[in-house]
Amino acid sequence: MRPGEHMSERESVSEFRVRYAETDQMGVVYHANYLVWCEIGRTDFIRSRGMSYAEMELGGILLAVTDVTLRIHASARYDDVVRVATRLAAVRSRAVEFAYEITRVGDGARIASATTMLVSINPQGRPVAMDPGVRALLEAGSVVG
């Protein structure tokens, strides 16, 4: 098995163009938008595991962000095609941590690295254990075979 295949099991990859709305007057992407991109990566990661976060929410499991780290290496710009590589960093009974690498597709430049911790809550906002089935699906790709 080649390294790339390991990677594709452990990571999901999302690609999209930078929107004009995402820039600020510095001429680059406003930094808070990198967290929005991480959310896109997270949604795609969950989908790649055969689930849908939209359905998880309808089923009463919500994942609320509690901790963020974000390091910006270079600026993304309007109309850049960017790639978010998302991987599962840790799963616990009530929390899950994702890690993200954001790069520009054109030249491969590293744009940003981030982590987010999310806690599993019910619709009333109380922390709850994740469904074992959900946890198993999330973990499916988290260990290199």
Stretch of 3-11, 57-65, 91-99, 137-145 contacting its own copies, by CB under 8 A: 57-65
Q: How far is the CB of 6 from its own copies (least distance, A)?
A: 27
Q: Residue 113, SS3?
A: strand
Q: Is 78 in the site for its own copies (CB under 8 A)?
A: yes
Q: How far is the CB of 135 from its own copies (least distance, A)?
A: 20
Structure tokens at 77: 């710009």
In a 13 Å sphere around the CA of 125, the CA atoms on its Cβ side amount to 1
C-alpha distances (whole Å) from 73 to each of 34, 101, 102, 104 are 12, 11, 10, 11
C-alpha distances (whole Å) from 103 to each of 12, 81, 107, 118 are 14, 9, 9, 23
Q: How many CB atoms lie within 10 A of CB 136?
A: 12
Torsion angles phi and psi, residue 86, rounded to 5: -115, 130
Q: How far is the CB of 60 from its own copies (least distance, A)?
A: 12
24 is an active site residue? yes
Count of positions on this chain that bind its own copies (CB under 8 A): 39
Q: Is 109 in the site for its own copies (CB under 8 A)?
A: no
Q: Is 122 in the site for its own copies (CB under 8 A)?
A: no
Q: How many CB atoms lie within 10 A of CB 88?
A: 22
Nearer of residues 5 and 13 to its own copies, judged by Cβ: 13
Q: Is 62 in the site for its own copies (CB under 8 A)?
A: yes
Q: Is 48 in the site for its own copies (CB under 8 A)?
A: no
Which of 98, 97, 101 minimizes the C-alpha distance to 109?
A: 101
Which residues are catalytic, by number?
A: 24
Q: Which residues bind its own copies (CB under 8 A)?
A: 16-17, 19-21, 23-28, 30-33, 35-36, 39-40, 43, 52-54, 57, 62, 64-72, 75, 77-79, 125
